[in-house]
Structure 1
């Protein structure tokens, strides 16, 4: 069974995960250090009664409500550059859902060295949907507007969801889940 890694369970990671499970992916590894906050609920796959819970565990519970027999590993931890390769070594592909550029770069480098394909996001803030595109860099496919980061504009649910849906579609295509 193919395993997809989810690095970061925020707006991108949580929404990609729900799309993948609904599309038939049954084996995920979700890694995030954060807890569900009220400000997350406008764009992330969490609920009010999960406030304060670790995101990885809360997301796994939500995904199991869709598919009870899904195999979902979770780790409540912050990933540093040294651990990224080992944490995702058993994954066939990794989805990047980090907020910071430094973490994104470190994951891209680690997965490149490990030869694990990756699907990432770049530019999911703001309201402009017409600028969203797809680029490929080696084993990494990147989705977003490549310009508008969260430090520049707020993240809105529709744009985050659109980028996440496109990323999930790429995972499904690259993973051979459908043609």
Structure 2
């Protein structure tokens, strides 16, 4: 029968167990993951099982590394995610955190667009570090993603998005995360995707300022438009933007993108 071991298909004999296979193929491994679930128990193996053996402290590369990074994914998710193309418009609090979440998932291609540089007041909620201050957000995020998942294809557009250039920038993206700051920019992004990119979904962030209840942030689907947030909490005087709530909204957006990639609705 055929099983997959660290991304390599292997033919093994009927009745072989997980411990027996480890002894044959990776006796040094001290972490075993069977069909996305870590285990310390022995199991009889079945046709189609996906097995990952990891040795603590060892560095892996190439396809084997990609397999290990996806070892905890639900079965069948990795292949679909690896073929996906997702665009992110804006790399601030929402976009930077959503980008890293999707990179950790192993999304095949990320198209990132932003014109701005990292500055000190960004650090309280955006996924950058002090050494990135003064650098373009696109370039800093590409560096971060490479450190998280080098198998992700990152395409950068360091520019200000307009109605005219949006379709070209995000060509090929089936899902686009809107993470812009100004209401006029948000509206232009949503309207352009819905009118001119008929095969694409747009996931917008609306309402994540302050420190209100976490569960007030929700995901609502309106056809090809998905809105994440509480749709009320707007940043302004006496209402700042802080990491916990911004991060919740960003991860709502990332999870909405994942569900679209997997062909699931948002209910």
Do the two structures share a fold, i.e. TM-score over 0.5? yes
TM-score by length of 2: 0.64
Matched residue, 2:6: none
- For residue 156 of structure 2, give the secondary structure of its aligned residue in structure 1: strand
1:137 CA displacement:
2.1
Tell me what 2:222 maps to.
Answer: 137
Bigger drift between 127-136 and 43-52 goes to 127-136
Residue number among 87, 93, 100 corresponding to 2:182 in the alignment: 100
Q: Deviations over 1:124-151 (max 9, x none)?
A: 1111123212222220111101011123
Distance, in Å, in 2 between the alignment partners of 1:177 and 1:37 is 38
Select between 130-139 and 68-77 the one with higher mean Cα deviation.
130-139
Matched, 1:118 2:187: no
Q: How many residues align?
A: 179
Other-structure match for 1:151 = 236
Q: 1:16 corresponds to which residue?
A: 98
CA distances 1:142-167 after superposition (whole Å, capped 9, x unpaired): 11010111235110100001111111
- Aligned residues of 2:106 and 2:149 also touching (Cα < 8 A): no
In structure 2, how many angstroms separate the alpha carbons of the residues matched to 1:74 and 1:178?
Answer: 28
Q: Which residue of 1 aligns with 2:76?
A: none
**1:177, CA displacement in angstroms?**
8.0
Name the SS for the 2:127 alignment partner. coil
Point out which structure has higher relative CO (alpha carbons under 8 A, 6+ apart).
1
| CA–CA distance in structure 2, aligned partners of residues 47 and 136 of structure 1 | 33
Indicate the residue corresponding to 2:249 in structure 1.
163
Cα RMSD (Å) = 1.6
Residue 134 to residue 69, structure 1, CA distance change in 2 (3 Å): closer
Runs of 4+ with deviation above 2 angstroms = none
Structure 1 stretches lacking a partner, 5+ long: none
CA distance in 1, matches of 2:252, 2:220: 12
Q: 2: CA distance between counterparts of 1:133 and 1:44?
A: 20
1:91 is displaced (CA, Å) by 0.9
Alignment of 1:174 with 2:260, yes or no, is: yes
Rounded to whole Å, the distance in 2 between the matches of 1:133 and 1:171 is: 14
User: Which residue does the alignment assign to 2:170?
Assistant: 88
Stretches of structure 2 lacking an aligned partner (at least 5 in a row): 1-82
CA deviation vs aligned residue, 1:9-52 (integer Å, no higher than 9, x gap): 00000000111111121310100000000111111110101100
Per-residue deviation, 1:2: 1.9
